[in-house]
Structure 1
Amino acid sequence: MTITQLKYVLAVAEYKNFTLAAEKCFVTQPTLSMQIQKIEEELGIQIFDRTKKPIQLTEIGQKIVNQSKNIVNEADRIQDIVDQQKGFIGGEFRLGIIPTIMPTLLPMFLNNFIKKYPKVKLIIEELNTDEIILKLNNGHLDAAIAATPLEEEKIKEVVLYFEPFVAYIPEIHSTFNKKEIEIDDLNIDEILLLQDGHCFRDGILNLCKNVATNEKAHFQIESGSFETLIKLADEGLGITLLPYLHTLDLKEKDQLKLRHFKEPKPAREVSLIFPKNELKIHIIDALRSTIAGVVKGAIVFQNVQIVSPLQKK
Structure 2
Amino acid sequence: MNVSGLSLRDLEYVVAVAELRHFGRAAERCAVSQPSLSAQIRKLEEALGLSLFERTSRKVLLTPRGEAIVAQARTVLEEARRLLALADGSDGALTGRLRLAAIHTLGPYLFPHILPALRSTWPDLTLILSEGRTDSLLEELRDGRLDAVLLALPVEGDGLAAEPLFFEPFLLAHPAGHRLCAAPGLSLNDLDPAELLLLEEGHCLRDQALAACGLSARGGGVHATGLETLRHMVAAGAGCTLMPVLAVKGAAKAEDGRAATVGGLVGYRSFDRTADGPRPPGRVIGLVWRASDPRDRGLRQLADLLRRDLPAGTEPALPRTAD
Task: Give TM-score scaled by structure 2 length.
Answer: 0.70
Match of 1:288 among 293, 300, 303: 303
Give, in angstroms, the shift of residue 256 of structure 1: 6.5
Match of 2:224 among 218, 222, 225: 222
Matched, 1:115 2:85: no
Mean Cα deviation higher: 22-31 or 231-240: 22-31
Match of 1:4 among 9, 14, 19: 9
For the structure 1 residues 129 and 80, does the alpha-carbon distance in structure 2 shift closer, same or farther, using more than 3 Å as the test?
Answer: farther
For the structure 1 residues 210 and 33, does the alpha-carbon distance in structure 2 shift closer, same or farther, using more than 3 Å as the test?
Answer: same
For the structure 1 residues 284 and 212, does the alpha-carbon distance in structure 2 shift closer, same or farther, using more than 3 Å as the test?
Answer: closer
Checking the alignment, whether the CA contact within 8 Å between 1:73 and 1:277 is kept in structure 2 is: no
For the structure 1 residues 14 and 235, does the alpha-carbon distance in structure 2 shift closer, same or farther, using more than 3 Å as the test?
Answer: closer
**SS of 2:86's equivalent?**
helix
Name the residue aligned to 1:308.
none
Code of the aligned partner of 2:172? A
Give, in angstroms, the shift of residue 270 of structure 1: 0.8
Name the residue aligned to 1:204.
209
CA distance in 1, matches of 2:40, 2:160: 31
Checking the alignment, whether the CA contact within 8 Å between 1:147 and 1:269 is kept in structure 2 is: yes
For the structure 1 residues 303 and 141, does the alpha-carbon distance in structure 2 shift closer, same or farther, using more than 3 Å as the test?
Answer: same
CA distance in 2, matches of 1:54, 1:247: 40
CA distance in 2, matches of 1:138, 1:221: 31
CA distance in 2, matches of 1:276, 1:245: 28
Matched, 1:275 2:275: no
**SS of 1:167's equivalent?**
strand
Q: Paired residues, what number?
A: 297
Match of 2:178 among 172, 197, 207: 172
Checking the alignment, whether the CA contact within 8 Å between 2:170 and 2:270 is kept in structure 1 is: no
**SS of 1:46's equivalent?**
coil
Q: Equivalences for 1:1-313 in 2 at 5 Å?
A: 1-11=6-16, 13=18, 25-28=30-33, 31-43=36-48, 45-48=49-52, 56-57=62-63, 59=65, 62-82=67-87, 84-85=89-90, 90-169=95-174, 171-173=177-179, 177=183, 179-182=185-188, 184-194=189-199, 198-208=203-213, 210=215, 220=222, 222=224, 224-226=226-228, 229-230=230-231, 232-233=233-234, 236-248=237-249, 250=252, 251=257, 253-254=259-260, 257-260=269-272, 262-263=276-277, 265-295=280-310, 298-300=314-316, 302=318
CA distance in 2, matches of 1:96, 1:40: 31
Deviations 1:106-150 (A, max 9, x none): 343332332333333333334443453354345443322112333
Give, in angstroms, the shift of residue 272 of structure 1: 0.8
CA distance in 1, matches of 2:282, 2:316: 12
Give, in angstroms, the shift of residue 239 of structure 1: 1.2
CA distance in 2, matches of 1:281, 1:212: 36
- The percent of aligned pairs where both chains have the same amino acid is 30
For the structure 1 residues 133 and 84, does the alpha-carbon distance in structure 2 shift closer, same or farther, using more than 3 Å as the test?
Answer: farther
Checking the alignment, whether the CA contact within 8 Å between 2:207 and 2:217 is kept in structure 1 is: no
Code of the aligned partner of 1:277? S
Name the residue aligned to 1:311.
none
For the structure 1 residues 301 and 177, does the alpha-carbon distance in structure 2 shift closer, same or farther, using more than 3 Å as the test?
Answer: farther
**SS of 1:179's equivalent?**
coil
Checking the alignment, whether the CA contact within 8 Å between 1:96 and 1:127 is kept in structure 2 is: yes
Give, in angstroms, the shift of residue 87 of structure 1: 9.4
Mean Cα deviation higher: 152-161 or 229-238: 229-238
Code of the aligned partner of 1:168? A
Unaligned runs of 5+ in 1: 305-313
**SS of 2:179's equivalent?**
coil
Checking the alignment, whether the CA contact within 8 Å between 1:89 and 1:283 is kept in structure 2 is: yes
CA distance in 2, matches of 1:20, 1:120: 21
Code of the aligned partner of 2:196? I
For the structure 1 residues 186 and 27, does the alpha-carbon distance in structure 2 shift closer, same or farther, using more than 3 Å as the test?
Answer: same
Code of the aligned partner of 1:222? A
**SS of 1:193's equivalent?**
strand
